[in-house]
């Protein structure tokens, strides 16, 4: 029996916040026994998520945090479409094909009339697919030559994103790293060639290195591999991880050769959800030609009504992200993308100038992507670290990661800002004002901070709070 004074929400008089549910702890570990009204369930989930950081103030993420109303509308009305059901949703499949063609042409694919590629959940899946295709091609070639396929390796900068570590781990591959340094912040041809041998199935230059915002020298690496491949007949190809740069270079540096114009670039991946300007959940992988996508990576799915080839690791996936990408392509056009990417670069240049004025040192004076890092030179008077600054900036809602650089430079602690659409000069000024105030407070503290004490006892401080791999 319900007590007489219990407030039943199904009575029209009881508001959400007047209901009994508001006095209960929301379910943590077990599914509740009974249903609850829709508006109360909504409020509980909404309010808990409200405590997350504000996505627009998240200067750590590369991922899109703003789309216009038209895009949101398309996403909402098509979020029930499963990308894999290509025979049920043939137009969504067709739009995916249009996007593949558009992407491939942005990267100067020579393939006609249709280009070869696929949408994915993000760059991670796209990198895996590009890497796997190269591995299978290498294995097929080695088998045809009667040679062993036991010890495949690939070459990448030590500033790789964690997906490449996963790739090596899942498929038991050797990952050969070219260490970055102050002198060589990007992977260069001479260091790559030194690491190549007959078991090298792939070289992976990055356009938009996650940790630094720099671009590896794809053209130089391509030319060096061309020479090496001619001499050895190893045919070592390139997959470009252009998670960030794939949507920056075509608009801002169209003359720079990093893409399918280069002989040994056989596949490229990017994140539609980064500078492709779509909310998180979308990546792309494109091959230079159908012949570089091994047949054993195209699976014919026939239980959904007809035989359709798919190339993906995941099966079911929302189709609305692909529709949103197409919306962005036709809404913005080349000009619109160029304007947005130019604005984020200008804001990035403005912000990095302001950060320098605050007394910090930029890791790289110029970055070709809309992100930059800075560090602090030793100063005997200062008793705090960038980890502290990162912590205190959170008090104002700003999420700015501090982390140590990869192997070979692990003693250097940097802070990083990624500028995305939605961060203009005005917001940048607010950030700098807040930072100035917090720096003053840190300078005025009487006691050294915990992280300063740890670092000055030369113990490593673990990266805290943020993942720098986003």
Ligand X SMILES: Cc1ncc(COP(=O)(O)O)c(C=O)c1O
Q: Which of 58, 101, 157, 161 is in the footprint of ligand X by CB under 6 A?
A: 161
Q: Which is nearer to ligand X, 40 or 238 (CB)?
A: 238
Which region, judged by CB under 6 A, interacts with ligand X, from 1-9, 239-247, 298-306, 408-416? Answer: 239-247
Minimum distance from CB of 420 to ligand X (Å)? 12
Counting contacts by CB under 6 A, is residue 283 touching ligand X?
yes
Minimum distance from CB of 197 to ligand X (Å)? 25
Minimum distance from CB of 60 to ligand X (Å)? 10
Q: Which is nearer to ligand X, 208 or 451 (CB)?
A: 208
Minimum distance from CB of 365 to ligand X (Å)? 21
Is 417 in a helix, a strand, or coil?
strand
CA 224 to CA 232: how far, in whole Å? 12
Counting contacts by CB under 6 A, is residue 463 touching ligand X?
no
CA 243 to CA 207: how far, in whole Å? 7
Q: Which is nearer to ligand X, 116 or 269 (CB)?
A: 269
Pairing of strands 299-301, 308-310: antiparallel
Residue among 448, 444, 434, 451 nearest 392 (CA): 434
Is 416 in a helix, a strand, or coil?
strand
Tell me how many degrees the CA angle 389-395-399 measures, rounded to the nearest 5.
65
Q: Which of 19, 92, 119, 124 is in the footprint of ligand X by CB under 6 A?
A: 124
Tell me which DSSP letter residue 310 carries.
Answer: E
320-357 and 90-106 helices, crossing angle to 10°: 40
Positions 61 through 120 that interact with ligand X (CB under 6 A): 62
Phi-psi region of 4 (alpha: psi -120 to 50; beta: other; left: phi over 0): alpha
Minimum distance from CB of 407 to ligand X (Å)? 16
Which region, judged by CB under 6 A, interacts with ligand X, from 97-105, 122-130, 142-150, 400-408? Answer: 122-130
Q: Which is nearer to ligand X, 153 or 469 (CB)?
A: 469
Q: Which is nearer to ligand X, 126 or 442 (CB)?
A: 126
Measured between alpha carbons, how far apart are the two ends of the chain, in Å? 52
Phi, psi dihedral angles at 176 (to 5 degrees): -95, 125
CA 387 to CA 360: how far, in whole Å? 14
Q: Which is nearer to ligand X, 131 or 208 (CB)?
A: 208
Question: What DSSP string describes 216-278?
Answer: --HHHHHHHHHHHHHHH-----EEEE-TTGGGTHHHH-TTS--STTSTTEEEEEEETTTTT--
Q: Which of 59, 106, 163, 439 is in the footprint of ligand X by CB under 6 A?
A: 163
Q: Which of 64, 93, 122, 240 is in the footprint of ligand X by CB under 6 A?
A: 122
Positions 170 through 229 that interact with ligand X (CB under 6 A): 206, 208, 210
Residue among 435, 385, 368 nearest 212 (CA): 368
Minimum distance from CB of 332 to ligand X (Å)? 20
Counting contacts by CB under 6 A, is residue 158 touching ligand X?
no
Counting contacts by CB under 6 A, is residue 419 touching ligand X?
no
Minimum distance from CB of 441 to ligand X (Å)? 32
Task: Report the DSSP beta bridge partners of residue 156.
Answer: 177, 204
Q: Which is nearer to ligand X, 228 or 371 (CB)?
A: 371
CA 365 to CA 353: how far, in whole Å? 9
Counting contacts by CB under 6 A, is residue 367 touching ligand X?
no
CA 264 to CA 222: how far, in whole Å? 6
Which region, judged by CB under 6 A, interacts with ligand X, from 123-131, 336-344, 398-406, 447-455? Answer: 123-131
Minimum distance from CB of 453 to ligand X (Å)? 32
Counting contacts by CB under 6 A, is residue 241 touching ligand X?
yes
Which region, judged by CB under 6 A, interacts with ligand X, from 32-40, 103-111, 169-177, 241-249? Answer: 241-249
Q: Report how many residues bind ligand X under the rule CB under 6 A.
A: 17
Counting contacts by CB under 6 A, is residue 271 touching ligand X?
yes
386-393 and 425-444 helices, crossing angle to 10°: 120
The residues of the shown chain that bind ligand X, judged by CB under 6 A, are 62, 122-124, 127, 161, 163, 206, 208, 210, 241, 243-244, 271, 283, 469-470
């Amino acid at each position: 029996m319900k007590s007489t004074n219990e407030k039943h929400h199904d009575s029209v008089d009881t508001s959400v916040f007047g209901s009994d549910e508001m006095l209960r702890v929301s379910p943590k570990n077990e599914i509740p026994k009974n249903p609850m009204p829709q508006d109360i369930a909504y409020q509980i989930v909404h309010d808990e998520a409200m405590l997350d950081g504000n996505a627009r103030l998240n200067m750590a993420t590369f991922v899109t945090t703003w789309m216009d109303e038209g895009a949101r509308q398309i996403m909402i009305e098509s979020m029930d479409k499963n990308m894999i059901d290509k025979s049920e949703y043939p137009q969504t499949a067709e739009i995916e094909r249009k996007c593949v063609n558009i992407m491939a042409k942005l990267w100067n694919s020579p393939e006609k009339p249709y280009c070869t590629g696929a949408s994915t959940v993000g760059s991670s899946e796209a990198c895996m697919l590009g890497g796997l295709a190269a591995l299978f091609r290498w294995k097929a070639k080695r088998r045809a030559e009667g040679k062993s396929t036991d010890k495949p390796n690939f070459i990448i900068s030590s500033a790789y994103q964690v997906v490449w570590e996963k790739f090596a781990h899942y498929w038991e591959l050797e990952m050969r790293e070219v260490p970055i340094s102050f002198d060589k912040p990007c992977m260069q041809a001479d260091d790559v060639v030194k690491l190549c041998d007959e078991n090298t199935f792939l070289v992976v230059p990055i356009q938009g290195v996650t940790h630094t915002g720099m671009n590896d020298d794809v053209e130089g690496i391509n030319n060096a591999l061309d020479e090496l491949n001619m001499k050895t007949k190893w045919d070592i190809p390139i997959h470009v991880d252009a998670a960030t740069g794939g949507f920056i270079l075509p608009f801002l540096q169209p003359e720079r050769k990093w893409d399918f114009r280069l002989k040994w670039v056989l596949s490229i991946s990017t994140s539609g959800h980064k500078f492709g300007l779509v909310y998180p959940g979308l990546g792309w992988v494109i091959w230079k030609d159908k012949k570089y996508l091994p047949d054993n990576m195209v699976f014919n799915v026939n239980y959904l009504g007809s035989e359709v080839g798919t190339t993906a690791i995941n099966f079911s996936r929302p189709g609305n992200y692909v529709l949103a990408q197409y919306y962005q392509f036709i809404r913005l056009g080349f000009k619109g993308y160029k304007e947005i990417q130019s604005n984020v670069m200008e804001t990035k240049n403005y912000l990095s100038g302001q950060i320098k004025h605050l007394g910090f040192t930029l890791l790289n004076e110029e970055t070709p992507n809309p992100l930059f890092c800075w560090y602090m030179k030793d100063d005997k008077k200062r008793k705090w670290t960038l980890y502290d600054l990162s912590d205190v900036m959170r008090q104002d809602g700003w999420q700015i990661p501090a982390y140590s650089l990869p192997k070979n430079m692990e003693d250097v602690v940097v802070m990083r800002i990624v500028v995305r659409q939605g961060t203009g000069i005005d917001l940048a000024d607010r950030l700098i004002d807040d930072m100035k105030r917090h720096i003053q407070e840190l300078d005025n503290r009487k006691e050294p901070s915990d992280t300063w004490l740890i670092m000055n006892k030369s113990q490593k401080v673990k990266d805290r709070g943020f993942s720098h791999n986003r």
